[in-house]
Every structure is written in C-alpha cells, then in structure tokens.
Structure 1
Amino acid sequence: MTRLDSPFRIGDATVPNRLYRAPLLECAGNGPGAVDRLVAELEPAAEAGAGLVCQGATIVRGEGGCAAPGMTRVHDDGFVADLSRLTDAVHNHGGRIAVQLEHGGLRSMETWHAGFREDNPDLEQLAVSEPPRLLRAMAATGFLDYDARVLSTEEAYELAADFGRAARRCADAGYDVIHLAGANMGILQQFLSPFYNRRADEFADGARFLELVHDEIRSRAGDVPLMTKVPAETAAPPVVRRRLSADDAVDICARLADHGYDAVVPVTASVFWDASVVRGEYPARAWSDDRYRAGYEAAFGGRLRARLVAFGNWVESKAYDFDPTWNADLCRRVRRAVDVPVLCEGGVRGRAEADRLLGGACDAVGMGRPFYAEPRLPARLLGADDAEAVCENCNNCAVPQAAGAPGVCRTPRVLREAGKLRRAGAYEPSEE
C-alpha cells in the first residue's frame, strides 16, 4: 500500500510526501507586496507538511493573457529573482514548490471582462485559430468580445520560447518543478483541443506545441522537472461535437511522457470556462454580497448582465454538481499507459479518499479550494487517517475573483469549524 506520507520523485526532484496543494488563484499581481502576499498564501501549506506546493496560474508574458484579475506575471527578471524569497520559505519547511505557467489565449480578460476591454482597447487576444463559430455566436450577446489575432507559425514558436524563458527565470529563482496549465481553457488546451484548433501547419497536431514548449524549457532551463495538466473535454455539453475524448487524453499523456515530461495531471474539462472546473453548489452568498456588486458589473458590463451571468452560474451548478474525486477514473487509465507519476486532483476532500487513490489511480493527491478555509490543512490530513476537509464545495470562495477579490473562504459555518480546529491545535504539524 502506498502511503500519503511516503516520498516520490518528479524528474530529479524528490517530493517528501504525496500530498500537494493544487494551483489556485493567489491574486497577488506584480505590484509592491506581491511576493509577500505569495509567501503569506503558500508558506502555511509547506509549514503544515505539504510535500509539494503549486503556485497558481502565472502568465509568461508582460501584456495580455490574464484569465482573471490579479494574476502574477513572470516576464521580468528582477521580479522573478525576488520570488526566491517564496521558494526559500517553502524549502525551509522541507517542501517543494512548483509554478504553473499559463497564457489565457481566448479565455483572457481581453475577451470576457468588459471593464478591462474598455481600459485596454488595443489589446488583442491570441488565438490558435479563428474563434469557433459557436463562440462567435455567443459574442453577439455582448458578454464576449473577440478581436483575436491568430498566431502564425513563427508567432507560435515565439510563444513557446516565452514559456521557456519564464521557466528559466523560475528555475533560477529556486522553483523545483515547472507545471504547465495545459487545461482550464488556456492557450495550451486551445492548441490541444479540436474545438479550438483548426490550423493547417505543424501545430494542427496540438500536442506538437506542448512538445515544442518542452524543448524550449529544456534548452533554456535545463533538466528542471516538468509536468502538465492534460484535459479530456468530456464535460463539454452535447452540442459540442469536436472535443478531446478520454481516449485522446490518455494518448496525449502517453505521448508527452515519451517526449520527456516528468509527470502529468489528467483532468476532465469542458471547452468553456464553466462550473465543470469548480463543481459544487451555486454560490448564492457570493453573488448577493454587496461588496462585490460593483466588481461584477464592471466585469460583465452592467447590472443586468451580471445578473444574467449569475443565473447562468445557477444553471451550470445543476449540471456540474459536486462529484467526489471526479478525475479518478481518467487518472487511473492514464496511469496504466505512462511510466511517469500521475497526479490527481479534483474533488478530493479527505484522507481516506487520498489513500484509496494512491497506488491505483495516481501517485500523488492534490486539493485546491479546501486550502482557502484551511491554509494549514496538510497537518490534519497527514496526522489522522480519518481527517476530512471542512470545505463544503459552496464556491463562495471562487466567484468573487471575477470582481478582483482574493480567493478566501466566505462561508461562516465553514470558518467556524476551521476556527474550532485551530483552537484545538489541529493544524500543528506532527513532531515525528
């Protein structure tokens, strides 16, 4: 039986245990205090015993590409060098740290955030191909706005080089693992997805672009361990005919592992940014909170449109209700097909679930949203076989991020329970 507290390797990096903090939006940006905020967000997980801490999606270019307000960029040598304070903080607790590199492409704020578009009228989205007809039809409603520049072959090579440059900066700053945001509808998924990718050049084979990114990272950052998410677009609605099947995702994982990726994170996904990413309840508290109303209206283009988006979120919550360990079956299939570690996240909420997954479905287990309520959650999970996260999957943590608010738990009964555990000393790591 593989234990949660046993070490494993991602490339040349030894990770002290198999519990990791999955990538979340830290909303730290790049301004004064950004590194301090990242330390405050991520160090507690390492101090509490997480073997691997993943910094959330981080943009490889200095302009455009942010999928949400407040995302951090790693295009600047000076700023990234200062991130060594973060990596040192994690290392001082014996943990390892990964940075997730991303560019949003058609999912960027240039597409969906009305206020951002108004403030940046000359900023184009980057696109793998012309936006799909279904998305162009949706743009007629006014919720989306497409002014996309389709990447030429030369520009695709330059984007891959930017991933390589960003990885080099991060490796120099002490990050142990480079983690590509190959899902969540960012540009890497758009290359992989037949819904988005209708190119006629070498990158019509979308996995070829991820191979190129690998090669650029290796040429610029050496043998820094490299992993990526890989999507199966099985959560897309039936109207979407062109999508990645589970078989496609397994094949892509095997191909990338053969090409030199050191680990993969298979996930079920949609082709839209919808509630399939954060399955759970409709976040009524977050949508009705007056503190975020102005931010929602700025993001979606007015009060009526914000209300319509909230209604759409309610509809989606019925289609994408919480499903424990929802990526486990896909991970199990991938693990049989590859010889590199498979990491599983999505709906894992307790130690017993993690123990069941290890050795069969995956080699390491990650949790994301539960860390908003319990930043020091690993101490409980590693210390008791029956430990369960207090997270209720209500999504009140996530929706306000569209308004530029930080990701924190906003549900009083969950916070009360976490407070009781804190006062009882449950978040102190074991001395063993």
Structure 2
Amino acid sequence: MPDLFDPVRLGRLTLPNRLVMSPMTRSRADDRGVPPPAAAVYYSQRATAGLIITEGTQPSLEGQGYPRTPGLHTDAQVTAWRHITEAVHTAGGRIYAQLMHSGRIGHPSLNGLLPVAPSPLPAAGQTYTKDGRRDLPTPRELTTAEVRSTIQDFARAARRAVDAGFDGVELHGGNGYLIHQFLSPHTNHRTDPYGRDPLLFAVQVTTACAEAIGPDRVGLRITPGNTLNDITDPDPDQTYPALAATLAPLTLAYLHVGGVGPTTPLAAKLRAAWPTTLIAAPSTGGTLPEDGGRSLAEHCLTNGADLVAFGRAFLANPDLVTRLRTGTPLNQPDPTTYYGGDHHGYTDYALSTKPVA
C-alpha cells in the first residue's frame, strides 16, 4: 500500500507526498477579482503539500458567484497570481488553479450581470452578496452559441493560468456549479445537443482546456450525489463512470472525486474507469478529526486513490505534512475567519516546532 508520504507522479509533475490542499474559497480578493498580496504568504506557507489547488477562480466575469472571489480573465488578475505562484515555487511547492464558473449561483449585485445557466431554473435559497444574503434570482438560459463561448472562456482562463505560472488547472465540475448544472437533469432541461447529451458540456470544456495547455496540466473535480446549491444527481452510479470513461482517452492529469466513500461501488467504478491519477476528497463530517483525517486518508489509499485532499486541516495547519508525519496535535480552524477579513485566520495560524524525524 502506498504511504501518505511517498512520492507520486501527477501529469508532468512528481509530487513529494500524497497530500493535496483542497480548493477553499476565502473571499479575500478585491472588487476587481484581484487576489491580495497576502495570498502569496497564505499559499506559500502550505507549499509542503504534494499539490495545492487554489480557491475557486472565475474564468470570466459572468462566472462570479460570490463576493471578493478571484478571477483569471484580466491582466491585473494574472499579474497578481504570478506573484503567488512564484512564492509557492520558491518555497518548493506545486500549485494548480481551480477554474469555477458558478452558473446560476450568483447575484446581479456582484458584477451587474444576471447569472446564467443551462436552463432558466432558479436555485432554492439565498446567496451571499456585498449587501448580505439575497434570494437567488432566476438565471438567464445560455444560448447554444453562448455555451460554446463559455467553453472558450474556460480555455482562455487555462492559458492565462499557465501565463501566471500555475502548474495546471482544475475544472470544478461539482457542488452545484455550472458544469454540474449541465450534468444534472434537475437543472438541465435543454433540447439542444447540450441537453440531449448531459455529458457534452463537461467533455467539451475539459477537451478545450486540454488542447489549450496540454492534458497533463488539466484535472477535473466531481462531487457525485452532492446536493449543495439545490442540485440532485438521480443516477450518479451511471453518470459519473460514463463521464470518466468518456474522458479517459484524454489522459488528463487527474480526476478529483469529492464526497464518495472509499469502499462504495461508485468509488470502485470510477477507479476502474479512470486511467491516470485519482484524488480522493472524503468527507470528514462537521468537525476536524483528532488525527486531522490521516486514518481516513490512509483508508482511501488502500482502496485505490493515489492522493488524498485535505481541506480545513490545511487551512488551520500550514505545516500539515509535518504534523501528520510526526503526530503533532493540530490547530483547530476558526470558522468566523473562513470568508473575508484580513490576515487573522488566513496567514497567522501557528506552526509546529516539532522536527521531522
């Protein structure tokens, strides 16, 4: 069985360990979607991770879903990200940008644009805006031509990510955002090719990005069965293995699977269908386990995963790799500082003084 601290190949990279820092929205960019200078400190502090995946980053202004999230569609954003990737690489790390188009999850008060979606079906509930929580509006249905234009937005953002010094990109295909909205019959009622084949949008976005920067620089995140943002997957055991099998010939860098138990039939189907690196992101529930999730991560490796993603454990423990290796107690994250704010709960978590054996 591979060990969490064994090296592993991912695309064109060799990772020193199998711990991945999960993408986590922190909402600290400015109103132009430019990440702050402190983000270079935040990410480089965590450079001992085998791989860092950034917070969700919109590929276009239209793709923004929350206040103060960063983008990769302007020169100013690219320049700011370049300082961040340079800091991570100087610290010895590797970093992918997660491209996240939120689709119908958003609000016109964020950017002056009505959210777009496969079909004009609003999500139940409210979302965060600069003026507090607001009801989610009915989105505008993308025309077929606009769907194709959105695919190119992803490809352009992937090229910008490479220009900004990223080692690759991850496409967010889960959590009820745009790619997931096309995959689900709950949100996709289209009658054009993107409705008749619900896999088509995800496949074409992924293919366009692979053609733009190379398939060994592209990963895809999926969250089968996740109901976040008022979405449903009525048949995830069929949809996602079919998607994996369709994308398999591209030989992408990885497939990142969120919320699927390591011993479930779906996990086995995805492992069988996927020819390259598989990252598991198992749910640890509402609280951070005492061991930081190490035992669950090792269980994932035993059952076919190549790497395991850690979220809140990395948020509160920049030196998580050292802490897990040495058995040092972990810092507990402060939920009041997750989104927005200054350096508190961002770059000021204490480091362990216990040396690595």
TM-score band, normalised by shorter chain: 0.7 to 0.9
C-alpha displacement of 1:234:
5.5
**In structure 2, how many angstroms separate the alpha carbons of the residues matched to 1:127 and 1:176?**
29
Instruction: Deviation per CA, 1:189-209: give whole Å up to 9, x if none.
Output: 111111111111111223211
Query: Which residue is 1:160 aligned to?
Result: 151
Change (3 A) 1:257 1:223: closer
**In structure 2, how many angstroms separate the alpha carbons of the residues matched to 1:327 and 1:409?**
31
Which of 347, 370, 373 is the equivalent residue of 2:283?
347
Which of 360, 369, 372 is the equivalent residue of 2:303?
360
Query: Which residue is 2:4 aligned to?
Result: 4
Change (3 A) 1:81 1:206: farther
Listed as ranges, the gaps of 5+ residues in structure 2 are: 127-132, 285-291
Change (3 A) 1:191 1:94: same
C-alpha displacement of 1:165:
0.3
Which of 98, 118, 122 is the equivalent residue of 1:128?
118
1 or 2, which has the higher helix percentage? 1
Query: Which residue is 1:107 aligned to?
Result: 105
Mapped pair 1:338 → 2:274: yes
**In structure 1, how many angstroms separate the alpha carbons of the residues matched to 2:117 and 2:242?**
24
C-alpha displacement of 1:39:
0.8
Which of 211, 215, 219 is the equivalent residue of 2:211?
219
Instruction: Deviation per CA, 1:91-112: give whole Å up to 9, x if none.
Output: 22322101000111111234xx
**In structure 1, how many angstroms separate the alpha carbons of the residues matched to 2:33 and 2:172?**
26
Amino acid in the other structure paired with 1:89: A
Is the contact made by 1:249 and 1:266 (CA closer than 8 Å) also made in structure 2? no
C-alpha displacement of 1:88:
1.9
Is the contact made by 2:271 and 2:278 (CA closer than 8 Å) also made in structure 1? yes
Instruction: Deviation per CA, 1:181-229: give whole Å up to 9, x if none.
Output: 1111111111111111111111122321122112322333234511111
Query: Which residue is 1:98 aligned to?
Result: 96
- Describe the SS at the equivalent of 1:107: coil
Which of 320, 331, 344 is the equivalent residue of 1:377?
320
Query: Which residue is 1:198 aligned to?
Result: 189
- Describe the SS at the equivalent of 1:206: coil
- Describe the SS at the equivalent of 2:137: coil
- Describe the SS at the equivalent of 1:23: coil
Is the contact made by 1:211 and 1:259 (CA closer than 8 Å) also made in structure 2? no
Runs of 4+ more than 6 Å apart: 239-242
Query: Which residue is 2:28 aligned to?
Result: 28
5 Å-filtered alignment, 1:252-267, equals: 252-267=243-258
Is the contact made by 1:101 and 1:179 (CA closer than 8 Å) also made in structure 2? yes
- Describe the SS at the equivalent of 1:67: coil
- Describe the SS at the equivalent of 2:221: strand
Paired residue total:
340
Compare 67-76 and 155-164 and name the one that shifted more.
Answer: 67-76
5 Å-filtered alignment, 1:309-324, equals: none
**In structure 2, how many angstroms separate the alpha carbons of the residues matched to 1:328 and 1:108?**
35
Query: Which residue is 2:288 aligned to?
Result: none
5 Å-filtered alignment, 1:36-55, equals: 36-46=37-47, 49-55=48-54
Amino acid in the other structure paired with 1:18: R
**In structure 2, how many angstroms separate the alpha carbons of the residues matched to 1:85 and 1:70?**
18
Instruction: Deviation per CA, 1:163-190: give whole Å up to 9, x if none.
Output: 0000001112221121011111111111
Amino acid in the other structure paired with 2:157: A
Amino acid in the other structure paired with 1:127: A
Is the contact made by 1:26 and 1:38 (CA closer than 8 Å) also made in structure 2? no
Query: Which residue is 2:57 aligned to?
Result: 58
Instruction: Deviation per CA, 1:365-415: give whole Å up to 9, x if none.
Output: 11111223222222212x22x4564447x85554xx3xx4479659xxxx9
5 Å-filtered alignment, 1:165-244, equals: 165-204=156-195, 205-233=197-225, 235=227, 243-244=234-235
Amino acid in the other structure paired with 2:107: M
TM-score (norm 1): 0.70
Sequence identity, in percent? 26
- Describe the SS at the equivalent of 1:211: helix
Is the contact made by 2:58 and 2:71 (CA closer than 8 Å) also made in structure 1? yes
Amino acid in the other structure paired with 1:345: A
C-alpha displacement of 1:35:
4.3
5 Å-filtered alignment, 1:413-424, equals: 422=351
**In structure 1, how many angstroms separate the alpha carbons of the residues matched to 2:24 and 2:224?**
20
- Describe the SS at the equivalent of 1:34: coil
5 Å-filtered alignment, 1:284-295, equals: none
Listed as ranges, the gaps of 5+ residues in structure 1 are: 111-115, 269-324
TM-score (norm 2): 0.83
- Describe the SS at the equivalent of 1:185: coil
C-alpha displacement of 1:42:
0.8
Change (3 A) 1:33 1:178: closer
Query: Which residue is 1:150 aligned to?
Result: 141
Change (3 A) 1:123 1:366: same
